[in-house]
Amino acid sequence: MSEICTRLSKQDIARISDIQNIYTELMGSGTVVDPYKIGNIYELQSLICADEKEHSILVDDIDAKITEQWNRVERYSEIFEKEDMVGNFGFELDLDNITEVIDVYTLNPDDECEQVDYSVDNKYTITIDEDFDGRIAIDYTIDEDHYMGFRPIGNIQGVIDGNGYTISGLYINRPFKSHVGFTNQVVGGEIKNLTLTDVTIHGDRNVGSITGVTGYYTSSLPAGQITNCSSDGAVTGGGWIGGLTGKFYKGDIRQSSFNGSVEGCVGVGGLVGWSSNQLNQSYFIGSIKGDCNVGGLVGLNRGYIKNSYARGYISNSMVWRVINKVWKKKDIIGNRTVGGLVGLNRGYIKNSYTTLKANHNCGLSGCLVGLNMRDEEDEGILHNVYWEDYKANENAVNGSEDYLTNSTRTQDVVQSLSTNDMKNTDFYGFDFENVWTTEDGEYPKLQWQE
For the stretch 50-91, pLDDT in tens is 999 999 999 999 999 999 989 887 777 777 777 777 767 777
- 60/87 same-domain check: no
Are 206 and 260 in the same domain?
Answer: yes
Note whether 92 and 229 are same-domain residues: no
**Parallel, antiparallel, or unpaired for β 125-128 and 118-122?**
antiparallel
Percentage of the chain beyond pLDDT 90 is 45
Q: Is the pLDDT of residue 381 over 50?
A: yes
Confidence of residue 18 (pLDDT cuts 50, 70, 90): confident
Looking at the fold, whether 393 and 310 belong to one and the same domain comes out as: yes
Reply yes or no on whether the pLDDT at 1 is more than 60: no
The letter for the amino acid at 198 is D
Q: Domain count of the chain?
A: 2
Average pLDDT over residues 397-413: 45
Output the DSSP codes for 407-421.
TS-TT--EEEE-HHH
CATH number at residue 381: 2.160.20.110
Residue 44 lies in a domain: yes
Lowest mean pLDDT among 64-78, 172-186, 203-217: 64-78
Q: Is 19 part of a structural domain of the chain?
A: no
Range of the domain at 80: 73-142
**Does residue 248 sit in the same domain as residue 353?**
yes
Query: Residue 15 domain-assigned?
Result: no
| 312-366: pLDDT as tens digits | 887 765 444 443 344 444 333 335 788 889 988 989 999 999 988 766 555 566 7
**Is residue 8 in a domain?**
no
> Has residue 293 been placed in a domain?
yes
pLDDT digits (tens, 9 = 90+) for 270-319: 999 999 999 999 999 999 988 888 899 999 999 999 999 999 887 765 44
pLDDT of residue 376: 63
Q: What is the reported pLDDT for 12?
A: 54
In this structure, are 419 and 337 located in the same domain? Answer: yes
Tell whether 86 and 48 lie within a shared domain.
no
Cα 384 to the chain's mean position, in Å? 28
Note whether 207 and 250 are same-domain residues: yes
Q: Domain check: are 241 and 213 in the same one?
A: yes
* 134 within a domain of the structure (yes/no): yes
Same domain, yes or no, for 45 and 105? no
Coil, strand or helix: which one is 406? helix
In whole angstroms, give the CA distance from residue 310 to residue 299: 12
Do 237 and 113 belong together in one domain?
no
Tell me: do 130 and 168 sit in the same domain. Answer: no
Tell me which of 142, 165, 195 is where a domain ends.
142
The pTM of this model reads 0.84
Residue 27 domain-assigned (yes or no): no
Amino acid at 35: P
Fill in the DSSP letter of residue 14: H
157 belongs to a structural domain: yes
